[in-house]
Structure 1
Amino acid sequence: MWGTLPRLMARVTADHGDRSAIIDGDRSLTYTELAAATNRVSTGLIEAGLRPGDRVGILMPNCLEYIPTLYGVWGAGGVVTQMPARASASDFRYFLNSAATTTLIHHHNFDTALTGIRTDSPTLSTVIRLGSPPAPDTEALDYTALFGAADPTPPPIRIGENDLAFIGFTSGTTGVPKGVLQTHATWLHYCVTAGLEIGDTRPGEIFAHGAPMTHFTQTFIMPTLMRGGTNLILPGLDVDTLLSAIDTHKVTATAVVPTIIYLLLARTDLTDYDLTSLRTVIYAGSPMAPSELEHALRVFGPVFAQAYAGTEPGYISTLRKQDHLLQTPTQRARLASAGRPMYHVDLSIRHDNGQVVAAGEAGEIWVRQAGQMIGYLDSSLDADTIHDGWVRTGDIGYLDEEGFLFIVDRKKDMIITGGFNVFPRQIEDILDTHPAVRQCAVIGIPDPKWGEAVKAYVVTDPENPVTGNDLIRLVREEKGSVWAPKSVEFVAGLPLNPSGKVDKKVLRQRHWDGQTRQVH
């Protein structure tokens, strides 16, 4: 029995009282104050007409109000509709309409993006706005007025662990995002295991949230609270802000995308900051080049932990801090892995027909665990992903002899060139070893001879000259001519989706638009 999210919030806030729960610039909340703020949101929503099971979109930048709003929605019996802050205006409308959202709570930063949102979202009946400038939506309720005067005691709402709690959305790099359903039990499991196995959360943790809290960093809110720690909220994830926060607040843990680690490694002034408090840096969202990871370990020490997860299957595996070792060639090679499956996860590598592959053979990763989705918003899609309780991830990988998981690529990213299956991830790993390559992405483009031709987009270090032929030769020497890119295009940057991953859909679009079919 996992209980419910409001019940857990009530217990942790009662246990830690006057300790600091949240810091946001010069504003802060103790645990006692967080409990009252959360309950005011719950009560205010009910007074505004929210009914159990209604869907509520929360669209905020990183700010103090996000945490009591998130848990306040759950305390009122509502279902949170995920609204990634970095998404576009059209995405916001899509998320709201797909989930039949009735209530939207938004920060004034998003006024322009939400212009006309009532007309575009027919199910939306209540809009609550946080911010002091005059509201362009004259019907919007004021966040402070509504929740500031509400009752700070828990409302008498009955919530069950199997009640719907969260609707997330897939990243949509290969198609339209799909709505994913989580209950109180599955989402609570998702968050708690993240803190225990990935973050190794300890008493008094000071966790810096620089990445958007509307995305994966929110899963580390509750583990930090459970240990009586402090959620330090940063306005964004840039290296200056992060370094200053670590130095000033003695941050012990944070979660970032690999790009931030690369930017930190490029700094020449790291010794100007006191970083000795930093104990855990979780990286996720995309693979990290092993050569850069080795560099990071030498600069920052054994503080890194990798998380491999998916919207549908939940957290799957972790390369723990104690697995980030450099002493032997085998240990260094495992830096390219996604670690071992987490303790609560059953993981299987299978052929397309569902049969388990031979040991060491690559196949699709199937996962079964208590923190996985219960299904899609569109239940007709369930059968393509869920089989006898197992979630098909769409990722191709293999397990080595000690159970470390190596991800070869996304199944849908596979390139079929001249009849051969080629996995872009393996080409990207080779390109990443070149000192001139800062970032790269490999896709298949239409080709009259090969069906698809391998193309690489590369961001380079301006102080390290390299030619396309140099990089083609590098791949050819490592993997052979079939895998070598037929072309290399140098770019200033790669497009990212709201999750911070390289958006290959955008890269493919210019090549595949107008084609009668996608090869794969």
Structure 2
Amino acid sequence: MSRTSATGVAQLLGDCYEAHSDDPALRWGERWFSFAEVAAIAAGIAARLRDAGAAPGDRVVVHLDTGPLARAVDHALLGHGFVRVALSSRLHPHEVAAIAADAEAAIVICEAARADELRAAFASAPCRARIVTFDDGDAIPSRLLEAATPAPLLPRASDDPLMLMYSSGTTGAPKGVVVTDATWLAQLGRAVAQLPPITRDDVVVLAAPMAHFGGSIGLDCMLRGARTVVVDPFEPHRVLDAIEAHRGTVVPLVPTLLGRLVDALPGRDEAVASVRAVPYGGSPVPTDVLVRAARYFPRSLVQFYGLAEALAPLTVLSPDDHRRAARRLAGSPDDAAARARLQSAGRWTPGIEHRIVDDELQVRGDTVMRGYWRRDALTASALEDGWFRTGDLGETDAEGYLHLRGRRSELIISGGFNIHPREVEQVIEQLPGIAEVAVLGLPDERWGEAVHAVVVLEPGSAGDPPRHPDDLARAVREACLARIASYKKPVGIHVLPAIPRNSFGKVDRAAIRARFGSAEDRTPVPPPERR
């Protein structure tokens, strides 16, 4: 039988509201709203959802831009018994409809401008969710406060669903991961333990998507009394302006946003002088980006590794790890050990069990999911005796650092050889003038699969690689032959203005395969040398 936990997420929210009642909590428009006001706004949102037909335990889809409204909605859902289903605002209406139908959602919250498109998508999907909008812009909080009536927070059982986190769907339809109240509390404890002590004096500048890594860290900090400033949409100079104006101390980022922020930092060192923590995670970061980032955040960078099914941080690459490795690479760019350290996912956090089975990483612990939403067979295939099969290929070195080699689903098998895309990407991204790279296998008559690389070139760089396809391919192959086995080098190089990514910022290899899957669509390159 489920039992209500003595300390759950709703209880923590209540404690936070009481302890920090008059403290500033959330910047909305041109003013700060206190924790007491945020609590009242959340109660008003919860009342609106109940009026629309939602009951405690119902799934509520959040399809909002990154903004203060999305943060307030989080408080309403987590504190008043609803199950949060937060989605990227970049998803297509038909994708939102499919997820809402799968979750059997009662409500979808969206901006008013998206409502008509969603209704049209719902008409062609088995989705019965009602659409709720808040279309008063900066007037939303004041109007909710005027209409708010006191409503007690609603604790839930420790093993009751708190959230459904839908996977990014790069290898198929998104799956709903059931995150319980207890699972989220375990994540909260592990995350804050890896950050500097968070207090009411901290200011979180939040520009990463609410449905992703940054939104989780932002909520963790808010429960410790930190203030939140949201920057939407993400523009590097606007983020720097917000950090400088509000003396931001915590800046959660996803890797692509970290790279863009670092590019904007030259000449603005003082803007980030107040920053104490830059947690990031979600996908690999080029070593050069981390070395440059360490110049501006010498004691702040911290990488978290985790998955929707096993919440971060499973492992942590600490600020000291970043600082030491970056310092060594600044003096000796060819220091292979330092480069490997920066490319690792860090050390395991206490209490997380891990093992490698057939090259695949498996984990067990209190942040592992209960299962997939109403997919018993899929859950059974992913979980066994509490061990979750991550799908990540990796190994832990003698010093306890985890090194990921990519996803099992992304493994390239060419001529009988196993090739990890990340190993090849790490070589190519070191070439001057290469901004981004993604490596994948494409069908090949001779080898079954052949290694191909998609690259984005930096505009106007003094160290640009050759632009002609033949010369570029030759430069890439020479770099690979100098660092890795011959059979791992790409046989095709394709230049794009941007790497296709999904709504979570991860490389969309399915889109790349759709574009270059047939031989006639591929960039002509010189014949590959003998393997």
The answer, yes or no, to whether TM exceeds 0.5 is: yes
Say yes or no: does 1:477 pair with 2:515. Answer: no
Q: Aligned partners of 1:302 and 1:235: how far apart in 2?
A: 26
Unaligned runs of 5+ in 1: 134-141, 352-362, 515-520
Say yes or no: does 1:371 pair with 2:376. Answer: no
Q: Aligned partners of 1:373 and 1:251: how far apart in 2?
A: 32
Q: Which moved more, 1:172-181 or 1:190-199?
A: 190-199
Secondary structure, aligned partner of 2:341: helix
Say yes or no: does 1:504 pair with 2:509. Answer: yes
**Residue type of the partner of 1:339?**
G
- The Cα offsets for residues 79-114 of structure 1, whole Å up to 9 and x where unpaired, read as 112321121222111110110111122222423541
Secondary structure, aligned partner of 1:254: coil
Q: Counterparts in 2 of 1:76-91, with a 5 A limit? A: 76-91=80-95
The structure in which a higher percent of residues are helix is: 2
Say if 2:281 and 2:305, in contact at 8 Å, map to a contact too.
Answer: yes
Q: Label 1:427 to 1:80 Cα distance change in 2 as closer, same or farther (>3 A).
A: same
Say yes or no: does 1:152 pair with 2:150. Answer: yes
- The Cα offsets for residues 486-520 of structure 1, whole Å up to 9 and x where unpaired, read as 01111111111111111111111234489xxxxxx
Q: Label 1:144 to 1:131 Cα distance change in 2 as closer, same or farther (>3 A).
A: farther
Say if 1:167 and 1:182, in contact at 8 Å, map to a contact too.
Answer: yes
Q: Label 1:112 to 1:482 Cα distance change in 2 as closer, same or farther (>3 A).
A: farther
Q: Counterparts in 2 of 1:31-50, with a 5 A limit? A: 31-50=35-54
Q: Aligned partners of 2:144 and 2:293: how far apart in 1?
A: 47
Instruction: State the match for 2:9 in structure 1.
Output: 5
Q: Label 1:143 to 1:117 Cα distance change in 2 as closer, same or farther (>3 A).
A: farther
Say if 1:102 and 1:123, in contact at 8 Å, map to a contact too.
Answer: no
Instruction: State the match for 1:337 in structure 2.
Output: 344
Say if 1:398 and 1:406, in contact at 8 Å, map to a contact too.
Answer: yes
Say if 1:128 and 1:143, in contact at 8 Å, map to a contact too.
Answer: no
Task: Select which of 278, 290, 307 maps to 1:310.
Answer: 307
Instruction: State the match for 1:59 in structure 2.
Output: 63
Q: Aligned partners of 1:391 and 1:9: how far apart in 2?
A: 30
How far off is 1:148 after superposition?
5.0
Instruction: State the match for 1:235 in structure 2.
Output: 232
Q: Aligned partners of 2:116 and 2:129: how far apart in 1?
A: 19
Q: Counterparts in 2 of 1:306-455, with a 5 A limit? A: 306-315=303-312, 316-324=314-322, 325-326=324-325, 329=335, 330-351=337-358, 363-377=359-373, 378-455=375-452
Say yes or no: does 1:110 pair with 2:114. Answer: yes
**Residue type of the partner of 1:50?**
A
Say if 2:432 and 2:465, in contact at 8 Å, map to a contact too.
Answer: no
Secondary structure, aligned partner of 2:184: helix
Q: Which moved more, 1:260-269 or 1:433-442?
A: 260-269
Q: Aligned partners of 2:487 and 2:248: how far apart in 1?
A: 47
Q: Label 1:383 to 1:267 Cα distance change in 2 as closer, same or farther (>3 A).
A: same
Q: How many residues align?
A: 494
How far off is 1:401 after superposition?
0.6
Secondary structure, aligned partner of 1:383: helix
- The Cα offsets for residues 32-86 of structure 1, whole Å up to 9 and x where unpaired, read as 1112222222333334332222111112112222223222123332211232112
**Residue type of the partner of 1:465?**
P
How far off is 1:144 after superposition?
8.3
Q: Label 1:220 to 1:28 Cα distance change in 2 as closer, same or farther (>3 A).
A: same
How far off is 1:409 after superposition?
1.1
Secondary structure, aligned partner of 1:171: coil
Q: Aligned partners of 1:158 and 1:370: how far apart in 2?
A: 20
Instruction: State the match for 1:360 in structure 2.
Output: none
Say if 2:93 and 2:121, in contact at 8 Å, map to a contact too.
Answer: no
Q: Label 1:486 to 1:333 Cα distance change in 2 as closer, same or farther (>3 A).
A: same
How far off is 1:308 after superposition?
1.0
How far off is 1:193 after superposition?
2.2
Q: Label 1:35 to 1:443 Cα distance change in 2 as closer, same or farther (>3 A).
A: same
Instruction: State the match for 2:75 in structure 1.
Output: 71
- The Cα offsets for residues 16-40 of structure 1, whole Å up to 9 and x where unpaired, read as 1111111134143101111222222
How far off is 1:202 after superposition?
4.6
How far off is 1:295 after superposition?
2.4
Q: Label 1:398 to 1:434 Cα distance change in 2 as closer, same or farther (>3 A).
A: same
Secondary structure, aligned partner of 1:114: helix
Task: Select which of 252, 256, 267 maps to 1:270.
Answer: 267
Q: Label 1:110 to 1:266 Cα distance change in 2 as closer, same or farther (>3 A).
A: same
Unaligned runs of 5+ in 2: 329-334, 467-471, 520-531
Q: Scaled by the length of structure 1, what TM-score is found?
A: 0.89
Say if 2:440 and 2:509, in contact at 8 Å, map to a contact too.
Answer: yes
Q: Aligned partners of 2:11 and 2:295: how far apart in 1?
A: 43
Instruction: State the match for 1:96 in structure 2.
Output: 100
Say if 1:337 and 1:407, in contact at 8 Å, map to a contact too.
Answer: yes
Task: Select which of 209, 215, 218 maps to 2:215.
Answer: 218
Q: Aligned partners of 1:154 and 1:65: how far apart in 2?
A: 21
Q: Which moved more, 1:42-51 or 1:391-400?
A: 42-51
Secondary structure, aligned partner of 1:435: coil
Q: Label 1:231 to 1:145 Cα distance change in 2 as closer, same or farther (>3 A).
A: closer
